[in-house]
Structures are given as structure tokens and as C-alpha cells.
Amino acid sequence: MTRKNSKTQVNQSSPSANNQSVDQQAQSDNRSIATALRTFDAPIPLWKGLPFGLQHVMAMFVANLTPLILIASAAAMDTSQRSWLIQGGLLVAGLGTVLQLFPIWRIGSRLPMVTGISFTYYAAAAAIVADKGYGAVVGAILVGGLFEVFLGLTATWWRRLVPPIVSAVVVTSIGFSLLSVGAKSFGGGDGAKDFGSWQNITIATVTLICCLSFQFLAKGTLKQLSVLFGLVVGYILALCLSKVDFSSFSHLSFVSFPRFMPFKPQFDSGAIISFALLYLVSAVEVLGDTAALTDVGFNRQPTARETAGAIAGDGLISSFAGLFGVMPLTSFAQNIGLVAMTKVVNRKVILSGGLVLILASFFPPIAAVFNSLPQAVLGGCTIVMFGNIVVSGFQMIAKAGFSERNITIAALSLTMGIGFTQVPAVFRYAPALVQQIFASNAIAIAFVIALILSWVLPGRSNSLQKNHQE
């Protein structure tokens, strides 16, 4: 009888032991997946890594397309041309991400970078559009991108000539130059017949409040989707107020290829020089981006090969973007912030996000939805983005140090950059080329002044040594 009871107990304990074994196996699998996510080259099943790749896409999706929507408005493009831009923007953002993950020769960083359309070039592009047309912008993008490739391949020699305070001034001036863009969108868009109407202000304000509420109330990685949440709520409100234009949905095909060479390039010397300066600015920004990414993702400083490859990769994909009429690209700070929060650096995971962007470029309905966004909705979101750029510039200035020399460089370059472009008559008697480059480009003025001052003011050698060490 005792033997029988003992046998029964053994049989009863077997399912429990099996369940425990299954639980232990599941915990082991979870640990291995977590380790793989935090390892750059570790193997990981596609279906387990895809959600994290989609998260990277959602963090940058709206910011990637916003500069294109704004420049399309400045260039008075029709609905079809706007759709071409958005499709092309999705394609090149995905291809740029793939290039950074899997370099070609020395072009590409081999880091978990996600690329997207940069706001750095918008102010200059809008000024060129008003004077020369969008074809001149495309020509400048094509030539300037090759210039940035050259900057990347030679970064080892020139990077020490650009101290941190110059990079900080550039980022700050970019933010300030975009504030009026955000304000115009907030009111309904530059040239809108109902600019400043209560409907536009209401839509923009509600969108702004939703962005801020979601950012401060959401937890973890959900914070990265605050802009998307604001856009959805603002779009729904705009629908209720009959402020959404559905013309982009007419005669819409479900699948189509992105349009190659939708705009004929024009190679204008002034536009090319203006963009070349901005490509140099972007290259300097990438130095900071790679340092931030390797710090939060790998707890180390970037190698010279990684920074040079990142710059060259941005340049090549930007030049390629010009073939699709798209603005230049750069590595996205939003995704660096996401890496800092999640520590996900597996390149196969990031690759899945890049492939999603490429796939989305073949579906015009996605472009049509973003094409129909009212300017007021964009204004409610972008005014937060642009303000963050200004604050990021302030933080970079603080990191560079508030020495008398740095304060002088920042104060004078920002004053001249922002002030002179508000009074373009200052350049009335300057050569035509100088007027074209500087009269409406605060970023170019601030960059040139800051760079010259960093070279001529006392203390240059110490600054260069500090920058070289960083």
C-alpha cells in the first residue's frame, strides 16, 4: 500500500516538474533574446526582433516626413508632387539606415543608426526655392552630398579644426531659424487664406497639448510616440472641423514605385555653395551623433572609422536622395534617444525597421495620409520639435563651457546670423553670390562667424586639443 502511494506521488509530481522545466526554458529564452537585443551582431529571430524595429520606425516616422511636407508647401507643389516626395523620403530613409548598418567599403558607420530627412537644410532650401525654384535645390543636394562623402573620407584630418562651440552654435541657429516655420504652420500655413483663424489655432493648440500630455504621462519607450499621438488627435479634430483636404486620395493606386527624377536638377553655384556649408554643418553634427550613440549603446567612444563612415554614409544617401527629389538625410537623434532608453543595438533588429520604411515607400496611401495633414496639425507638433533643437543647442554650448572665449563666439555668431537675416538689406551692396548664400541663411552666417572666431581668438590650441580628445 505504501509502495502504491509512493508511485502515485511520483506520477502526480511529474506534470509539475515538466511545467517547471518549461518555465525555466522560457526564462532562458527570454534572457538570450534580451542579450541578443543588446549585442550588435547577435542572431535573433525576425519575428522576435521586428517589434523593436517597428518601434524605431515609429519614433522617427513623422519627423522624417515633416521637412518634406513643409518644403513642398514652400515650393507650392501640387498633390502628386507632394506624394512623390513622401514616397521618396520613406525609400531613402530606409536605404540610408541599411547603408549605416551594412557599410559599402568605407561608406557607412556599422552602427545601429537610423537615418531620416534633416531639418538642417530647410531654411536654406526655402530661400533657394523662392529665388531659383526647387530644381536648384535638387542640384545642390546632388553635388553637396558628394562633398559630404569627401568630408567623411577625410574626417580624420579636418575634424580637429571644428571645436565643440562651433557645433553648438550651428545647432542653436538651426533651432532659431525654424521657429518662424513652426509659428506659420501653427497659424495654418504661410499664405493660407484663413491664417490665424480660430479653427487653425484650436487644432494646433489641441495637438500641442496632446503631444505634451502624452510625453509626460506615458511611460518608458511609449514617450517616443508622443508626436504620433498628437498628430492622430489633431487629424481627427481637423476632420471634425472640415479642415482636411482629401484631394490627395483621388485616383490613388494601392501600389506604385517611387518616382525617379521627378524634378529636373539645376546646378546653381550659389545654391551649391550654400548647401555645401550646410553639409559641413551636418558632418559636424554627425560627429556628435556617433559619440552619443556609442556612449549610450556600447559605453565607449566611437572609432575614427565609425565617425568617418557615418559622415560618408550620410553624404552618399543624401546625394542619392536628390535623384528622387528628396531633401538630404542625417542620423536621427530620436533613435539615439531610443537606444539610450532600451539599449537595443542589434543591427538585424534595426534592419527590420529600415526594411519596413522601404516597403512603405511602395504604398501611395501612406503618402496620401500624410499629404492630407493640415498645416495647423503639423504646427502643433513641430513647434515642440523646433524648440527642442534650440534647447539642445544651449546644452551643447554649456557642455563646451562658458568661458569668456566661448561666450563671445556664441553671442557674436548668433547675433549676426539671426540679426542680419532679419535685415537682409545689410547685404544690398555685397556681390550677388554672397547675397544668395547669406542674405536669408542664418545658419551659414552663424557657422562661418563662429568658425573664424574659433580660429582667431586666443585659446584656439586648447580648444582644438579638447575637441581632438573628444
Residue 372 main-chain phi, psi, to 5 deg? -90, 0
- The whole-number average pLDDT for the span 49-57 is 78
Say if CB 259 and CB 324 are below 8 A apart.
yes
The pLDDT, as a whole number, for residue 267 is: 94
The answer to whether the predicted template modeling score (pTM) of the entire model surpasses 0.75 is: no
With CA atoms as reference, report the closest residue to 345 among 58, 100, 95.
100
Helix axes 79-101, 46-74, angle to 10 degrees: 140
Which range has the top average pLDDT, 50-54, 61-65, 113-117?
A: 113-117
Instruction: Yes or no: say if 231 and 62 are a contact pair by the CB < 8 Å rule.
Output: yes
Neighbour tally for 251: CB within 10 Å: 8
**Window from 59-73, 127-141, 218-232 with minimum mean pLDDT:** 218-232
Angle between helices 375-400 and 46-74 (to 10 degrees): 100
Mean per-residue pLDDT for 243-260?
Answer: 80
Quick one: which H or E segment has residue 30? helix 2-37
- Check residues 306 and 466 and name the one with the higher pLDDT: 306
Alpha-carbon span 313 to 435, nearest angstrom = 31
State the residue for C-alpha cell 586639443. 465
| 49 — pLDDT class (breaks 50, 70, 90) | confident
> What ranges do the domains of the chain cover?
40-245+262-456
**Taking 80 as the threshold, does the pLDDT of residue 102 lie above it?**
yes
Q: Is 463 a residue whose pLDDT tops 50?
A: no
Q: Give φ, ψ of 192 to 5 degrees.
A: -65, 140
CA–CA dist 202, 208 (Å, integer):
10
Residue 200, CA distances (Å) to 40, 165, 186, 203, 332 in order? 45, 39, 7, 5, 29
The answer on pLDDT for 138 being more than 90 is: yes
Q: Could you count the other beta carbons within 10 Å of the beta carbon of residue 10?
A: 10
Q: What is the pLDDT, as a whole number, of residue 46?
A: 78
pLDDT given at position 325: 93
Question: Alpha-carbon distance 442 to 91, whole Å?
Answer: 30
Q: Using CA of residue 111, residue 112, residue 114, residue 120, what is the dihedral sign? A: negative
Given a cut of 60, whether residue 106 has pLDDT beyond it is: yes
Q: How many residues does the chain have?
A: 470
Give ∠ CA 337-354-376 in degrees, rounded to 5: 65
* Residue 278 backbone zone (phi > 0: left; psi -120 to 50: alpha; other: beta): alpha
Neighbours of 324 (CB within 10 A): 21
Per-residue pLDDT band for 204 (boundaries 50, 70, 90) equals very high
